[in-house]
Amino acid sequence: MKTYNFDEIVPREGTDCIKYDAREWMFKTNDVLPLWVADMDFRTPDFIVNAIKKRAEHEIYGYTFKPDSYFNSVIGWMKRRHNWDIQKEWISFSPGVVAGLTLGIETFSKPGDEVIVQPPVYFPFFDCVKGTKRKLIENPLKIENGRYTFDFDDLKTKITPKTKILMLCNPQNPGGMVWTKEELEELSTICLQNKIMVISDEIHSDLIFREHKHIPFATISEEAANNCVVFMAPSKTFNVAGLSSSLAIIPNKANFARYERALGVGHLGMGNIFGSVALEAAYSHGDEWLEQMLAYLWENYRLLEKYFKKNLPKVKVMKPEATYLIWLDFTEYGMNDEELSKFIADKAKVGLNNGGRFGTGGNGRMRINIGCPRSILLKALEQIGKAFNDK
C-alpha cells in the first residue's frame, strides 16, 4: 500500500491559481497565508496525474465521448462510497456544480417562481437564484447542540403556491453538517407534499469524517429520487476543480430528458478530455488515497480545535462532520464582518472567507480551509492567535 505525503509543501504561486495569485485582489495584499478558496494545497494524486499524462501523449485533443468505463467508474464509486445503486441512464454532466445548479433552476422553474435556500450556505446559491430572475426565499438553519439543523416550522411558513425548488447543500457548507436520514426524510416529505423539487449540491459527499455517513438525497425513498437532481463531482475530493467536470444524477426519466435538452442547447455536455480522464481515474482508483487524506484532515481539525480552545477560547469552533472547511464564530469580539475580515488579513496576515457572504447567520463568523500541510495551518493559527491576543 502506497503512503501519501500530505505534509509536502507544493508552491502554487505563479500558476494563475485563485487561492494564491488573486490575494491582492481579494485582500488588498499579497502577504497573507491564503486559507480561503475551497481547493486543497495537496498534490492531485498520482493515479489521476498519470492518467492525464498518458492521454496527453496522444497529441490530438479533438471531440470525444464518454466511454462505458467512465460511467462504470461513477457507478462503482457511488456503490462503494455511498451504498447508492445508480444506473448509467441517470448520469448526466455539468461543467461544474454551480453551473449545474443554475441550469437546474432554469430547467425546472420559471422566472418569478420562488426558490428556497437555507443560509448560512455556500454563497453562489444566492447568485444562482437571483441571476435567473427567480425569487429568493430564505429558510435559515438553526443551531441545536452545537450543529446546524433544519428549521421545519419556519420552512412550512415560507412555502407558497409559487415555491418550486428547494436548494439543498448536502453535506452543508460552511457548517460541515452531514444531514441525518431523519432530517432528510422530513425535508423530503414537506417538499413532496408541496410539489417542490429538491436540487441537491453534494459536492462534499466524499469528505465525511469518522462515524458519519453521507446519505444521497435520492436514496431517501423512491418518491424522493423522482423529485430531485443530485450534483456531485471529484473536484473537492481529489483537488481537480480546474478540470471542470461534474455529475448530474437524475433518476426520474422525464426530468433527466428535460435537463439533457437544456444541457444540449448550450452545447455544454461534452466537457473536456482531461476532465473525463481525471474523473474516471479518481473514481476507479481513489479509495485508499481518500482514506489517508481524510485521516490527515481530521488531525488538522484536532490541531485547530485544540489551538483555539487553549489560546482563543472566545472563538467558537463548529465541529465538522464533513468537508475541509471549518466555521469559526468570532462574535464575542464584537466586530462587524468588514472589521473582522480586515483585522485578520491586516493584523494576522491570514486570508479567510468572510462569514457575511454566506447569508443570514454568517455575521461575525469566518470560514477557514484546513486542506493544507499541517505546518501551514499551524502557522496561520499562531498568527491569528498573536493578532487577537495583542489586540
Per-10-residue mean pLDDT, the chain, length 391: 96 97 94 97 98 98 97 98 98 97 98 98 98 98 97 98 98 98 98 98 98 98 98 98 97 98 95 97 98 98 98 98 98 94 97 97 97 98 96 72
Asked if 190 contacts 152 with a C-beta cutoff of 8 angstroms, the reply is: yes
- pLDDT value, residue 1: 85
Handedness of CA 68, 74, 79, 85 (dihedral sign): negative
- pLDDT value, residue 188: 98
- List the CATH code of the domain at 61-284: 3.40.640.10
Name the residue ranges covered by the structural domains of the chain. 18-45+287-389, 61-284
Task: Estimate the crossing angle of helix 374-389 against helix 287-311, to 10 degrees.
Answer: 20
- pLDDT value, residue 65: 96
Residues 6 or more apart whose CB falls under 8 angstroms from that of 89 comprise: 253, 256
- pLDDT value, residue 390: 87
Decide yes or no: CATH 3.90.1150.10 for domain 18-45+287-389. yes
How far does the chain reach from its first CA to its final CA, in angstroms?
48
pTM: 0.97
- pLDDT value, residue 391: 72
Three-state DSSP state, 60: coil
| Alpha helices in 97-233, H assignment, sequence order | 97-108, 124-131, 152-158, 181-193, 222-225
